[in-house]
């Protein structure tokens, strides 16, 4: 078991990473003074497997667990689910001193976090991420969000959790694509922020691919620690947190295109990292970065397959991303472990990078 | 013109109080670096009178004003209005660097604040309160909220504004009941936090009742300063802010009862302050407080009229208030200007106080 502190000034909290955390949750839940009810937000599949041990731990700690289920996947992050959860909390007379527990993947955590941030102007929340993506990325840092029909994550709040419990046993239940999607975020951290982790993955990726619990404890802990360092100095996403978007400029654009539908977030980000590597080479920032990135991703089972959308479509989708209204902005590497933010990358360079990695002109 | 700073640690902001602020808004709006669009949330009546000068000021300051209207009154604070506003912002591609302006009474300000708090995890907001209640109370302190069918203000956020512009010219357009409702909050501040203001009101309430602009500049500024002092040490409502609930334990209970329907918030709070005064006397905390409170309120046009609901109904409604789940809690005075928070006031004492001020047993 490893504990990593997210040192948000004035409100630090611990992320506990290990095996058996949920079966022994009574021992691993944080102190929650004054809490009476614990409202566990989860989807039906996750709840079927994990609600019982979590509820037992909450009960042992003197809290009354109540399960509130939402649809699985991104569908959960709707205004409709948000409203339904708020009204269920109110109908059950949830009180300001009660707690919300987000038990599930990134979508459940984002939704549970936003409900907790806004019901009675803020209940405490404990995040229990059950996917690799959520354990290494989504559950860390206090971002919560729901979607609008007009776009993803357009509504939300910064609301740091009281604690995060990342139980590695949950990884065994993920299907291969979901697990690999999480590995793309692991690769992102290795390339941008943690050269030791990169060396470890390059040296022998097989225990990571095989979900070896001891190795994954180290991998998840390193990813959490890297993100925690960034979040601690930029809680509100006004500067350094941008680095965490490495691979996401092109990745988000791909996700927005119908012709890319059906791929996972990680698959899109993997291609985004290859495009960013190529762009860094075109700009003369780094050498040999693309092939190294491709090798790393391939060793993790993330070889891009299928045709990329036409270059113009990707460029249009990049420009539509409201985060980048002031000009197309990329996080690029001046070598591994040395991310920089580059504003106003010319279209021609983005176009070249995309076409060199297989998009059609 | 008077300027009062709300000294929230790290994020102080100014409340400007005066006449002609909106007609000259180009000179009074705060610096808003980087802002492009200004989304003015208002109701149709207020917008008809005040949008034009505000929009002219925004335009002069290089912002593009867009008017988004909501229903008048408490109806505005619904999930439906919230969703409609979010989708209008998204549809118009509102960006993280844009601003929201809340132009109206307390309901509009609460809704605009919550939209600003949560769209893209937070846009800057400027509050332009146009009722006395909003100028002395609702617009100060960063509380935002919407209602659920299950109860008022159950969903919201703390989101401090960039600035508050309280234009005294807007007071002239209020009907008498709305204006008097605001005077109840003024009386609350005078009784709990500002003996000089109390002396001023007791000495000669007539210019206040007559809405004399010069006198009201002083009155609003004193109320804002008193609330600012409390908010600066308890932004998140975990301690001192409770004092601001003086008169609100019984006041909120009355507002929740059908038999009290049609009265204003201020009328309910006025009766709540008389009940709290009587309770302080029953407990031996203060002498002659009830008659002094009644005289003050009467001089401001706030003489309770009509029958009070039955005592048991009021007691039940007090207990239902989720804020007070741990026992019935009152803010009471140990004399004017000396508020204390008293937990677990026995039912018999509340009953006596209510019956002594005219509730039927």
Quick one: B199 and B346 in the same domain? yes
CA dist B12 and B3 (Å) reads: 12
Strand, coil or helix: B124: strand
Please tell me the total count of domains within chain A.
2
Q: Is B143 on the interface with A (CB under 8 A)?
A: yes
Q: How far apart are CA A146 and CA A180, in angstroms?
A: 24
Determine, for residues B96 and A156 on separate chains, whether the beta-carbon distance falls below 8 Å: no
Q: Which domain range does residue A50 map to?
A: 2-173
Residue B189 lies in a domain: yes
**φ and ψ of B191, to 5 deg:** -75, -35
* B149·A87 Cβ contact <8 A: yes
Res A125: pLDDT: 98
Torsion angle in degrees (nearest 10) through CA of A4, A5, A8, A13: 110
Are B122 and A79 a contacting pair at CB < 8 A?
no
Distance (Å, rounded) from C-alpha B349 to C-alpha B353?
Answer: 6
Task: Determine the distance in angstroms separating the CA of B72 from the nearest CA of chain A, rounded to an integer.
Answer: 22
CATH of the domain at A327: 1.20.1090.10
Q: How far is B267 from chain A (nearest CA, A)?
A: 25
**Structural domain contains residue B314:** yes
Joined together, the tokens standing for residue A73 give 């996947």
pLDDT tens readout for residues B258-309: 888 889 999 999 999 999 999 999 999 999 999 999 999 999 999 988 889 9
Give the integer Cα–Cα distance in Å for A311 and A329. 17
Tell me, yes or no, whether B203 lies in a domain.
yes
Instruction: Please report whether residue A51 resides in a domain.
Output: yes
What whole-number distance in Å separates Cα of residue A13 and Cα of residue A10?
10
- Closest chain B residue to the Cα of A96, Cα to Cα: B323
Residues ≥6 apart with Cβ < 8 Å to A239: A233
pLDDT for the residue numbered B322: 54
| Whether A159 and A191 share a structural domain | no
B293 & B308 share domain: yes
pTM here is 0.95
The ipTM estimated for the assembled molecules is: 0.94
Q: Do the Cβ atoms of B148 and A96 come within 8 Å?
A: no
The DSSP result for A152-202, as a single string, is EEEEEEE---SEEEEEGGGGGGS-HHHHHHHHHHHHHHHHHT-HHHHHHHH
Q: Are residues A217 and A333 in the same domain?
A: yes
Structure tokens at B26: 């180009």
What DSSP assignment string belongs to A61-93? TT-EEEEEEE-SGGGGGSHHHHHHHHHHHHHTT
Q: Residue A146 in contact with residue A84, Cβ under 8 Å? A: no
Whether residue B205 has pLDDT greater than 80: yes
Please give the Cα distance from B336 to B188 (Å, whole number). 10
Q: CATH number of the domain that A162 lies in?
A: 3.40.50.1970
A88, A141, A149, A154: best mutation site toward chain B, by most B Cβ within 10 Å? Answer: A154
φ/ψ (deg, to 5) at A70: -130, 165
Answer whether B33's CB lies under 8 Å from B227's CB. Answer: no
Same domain, yes or no: B169 and B184: no
**pLDDT recorded at residue B260:** 84
DSSP line for A287-301: SSHHHHHHHHHHHTT
Q: Which residues pair with A66 in a beta bridge?
A: A39
Please report whether residue B361 resides in a domain.
Answer: no
Q: Cβ–Cβ of B119/A79 closer than 8 Å?
A: no
Final residue in a domain of this structure, among B124, B150, B173: B173
Whether B188 and B327 map to the same domain: the answer is yes
Residue B333 lies in a domain: yes
Selected for mutation to probe chain B from A87, A118, A237, A329 (highest B CB count within 10 Å) is A118
Question: Is A90 an 8 Å CB contact of chain B?
Answer: yes
| B20 and B155 share one domain | yes
Q: Pick from A274, A296, A299: which is nearest to A286 by CA?
A: A274
Q: Are A196 and A209 found together in one domain?
A: yes
User: What does the pLDDT look like over B91-135, one tens digit per residue?
Assistant: 999 999 999 999 999 999 999 999 999 999 999 999 999 999 999
Name the average pLDDT for chain B: 95
Rg of the Cα trace of chain A?
Answer: 20
Q: How far is A102 from A161, CA to CA, in rounded Å?
A: 10
pLDDT at A350: 93
Q: List, for residues B186-199, the tens digit of each pLDDT value.
A: 999 999 999 999 99
Helix (H) / strand (E) containing A40:
strand A37-43
Ranges of residues in chain A with a pLDDT under 70 are 321-327
- Using a CB–CB cutoff of 8 Å, tell me whether B9 touches chain A: no
* Judgement on whether residues A82 and A53 belong to the same structural domain of the protein: yes
Domain boundary (A149, A173, A197) is at A173
CB–CB of A87 and B118 under 8 A?
no
In a domain, A305, yes or no: yes
Shortest CA distance from A158: residue in chain B:
B121
- Picking from A120, A154, A173, the residue at the C-terminal end of a domain is A173
* B110 is a domain residue: yes
Under DSSP, the state recorded for A45 is H
**pLDDT tens column, B230-264:** 999 999 998 899 999 999 999 999 998 988 888 99
State how far the Cα of A100 lies from the Cα of A113, in Å rounded to an integer. 8
On whether both A143 and A221 belong to a single domain, the answer is no
Same domain, B227 and B124: no
The CA-to-CA distance between both ends of chain B, in Å, stands at 49
B214 in the same domain as B140: no
Residues 6 or more apart whose CB falls under 8 angstroms from that of A205 comprise A296, A299, A300
- Torsion angle (degrees, nearest 10) of CA B91, B96, B102, B106: 100
Of B79, B87, B158, which is closest to A121 when you measure between CB atoms? Answer: B158
Give, for A27, the enclosing helix (H) or strand (E). helix A25-28
Residues of B in contact with A150 (CB under 8 A): 87, 90-91
pLDDT at B231: 96
Apex CA A121: angle with CA B51 and CA B38, to 5°?
25
Look at residue A96 and give its three-state secondary structure: coil
């Amino acid at each position: 078991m490893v504990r990593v502190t997210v040192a948000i000034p004035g409100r630090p909290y611990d992320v506990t990473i290990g095996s058996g955390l949920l079966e022994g949750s009574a021992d691993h839940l944080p102190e929650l003074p004054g809490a009476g009810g614990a409202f566990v937000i989860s989807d039906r599949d996750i709840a079927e497997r994990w609600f019982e041990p979590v509820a037992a731990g909450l009960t042992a700690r003197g809290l009354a667990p109540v399960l509130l289920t939402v649809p699985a996947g991104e569908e959960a992050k709707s205004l409709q689910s948000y409203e339904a959860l708020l009204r269920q909390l109110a109908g059950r007379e949830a009180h300001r001193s009660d707690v919300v527990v987000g038990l599930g993947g990134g979508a459940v955590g984002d939704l549970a976090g936003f409900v907790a941030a806004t019901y009675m102007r803020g209940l405490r929340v404990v995040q229990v991420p059950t996917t690799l993506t959520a354990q290494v990325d989504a559950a860390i840092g206090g971002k919560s969000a729901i979607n609008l029909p007009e776009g993803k994550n357009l509504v939300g709040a910064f609301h740091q959790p009281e604690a995060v419990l990342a139980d590695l046993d949950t990884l065994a239940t993920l299907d291969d694509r979901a697990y690999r999607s999480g590995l793309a975020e692991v690769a992102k951290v290795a390339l941008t922020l943690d050269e030791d982790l990169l060396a470890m993955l390059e040296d022998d990726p097989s225990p990571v691919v095989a979900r070896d619990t001891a190795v994954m404890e180290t991998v998840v802990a390193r990813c959490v620690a890297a993100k925690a360092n960034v979040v601690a100095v930029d809680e509100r996403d006004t500067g350094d947190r941008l680095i965490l978007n490495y691979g996401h400029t092109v990745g988000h654009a791909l996700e927005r295109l119908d012709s890319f539908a059906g791929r996972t977030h990680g698959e899109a980000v993997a291609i985004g990292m290859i495009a960013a590597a190529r762009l860094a080479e075109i700009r003369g920032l780094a050498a040999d970065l693309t092939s190294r990135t491709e090798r790393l991703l391939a060793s993790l089972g993330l070889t891009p397959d299928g045709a990329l959308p036409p270059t113009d479509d990707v460029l249009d989708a990049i420009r539509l991303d409201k985060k980048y209204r002031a000009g197309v902005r990329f996080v690029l590497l001046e070598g591994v472990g040395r991310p920089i933010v580059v504003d106003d990358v010319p279209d021609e360079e983005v176009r070249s990078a995309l076409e060199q990695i297989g998009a059609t002109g």
